[in-house]
Amino acid sequence: MSAKLDWHATMNTEPADEEPDDWDKRIFSTGCADENARLTDCYYEKKDWRACKHEMEAFRECWKRKGNDKRVETKEA
């Protein structure tokens, strides 16, 4: 069996981590988890924050709309 197949078999037999970690809990508590996921996916795909301006703006709008800018100290760039 090749190394690639061995790795794939291992990944499919391990139990799924269903419990959200502290990071996930914090992101979900903002109410902007979907926007955050789209932003991080964009960066992962493009490796350049400048190419993710629309996703960043959507995240910022959600952040403000949900009142997170008042809940935590944030500074406008």
pLDDT tens digits, one per residue of 60-77:
999 999 999 888 876 666
Q: How many residues does the chain have?
A: 77
Cβ atoms 59, 32 nearer than 8 A = yes
pLDDT tens digits, one per residue of 21-52:
998 999 999 999 999 999 999 999 999 999 99
Q: What is the pTM of this model?
A: 0.66
Distance of CA 41 to the CA centre of its chain: 7
Nearest to 31 by CA among 4, 71, 3, 77: 71
Nearest to 54 by CA among 70, 39, 69, 34: 39
Amino acid letter for position 16:
A
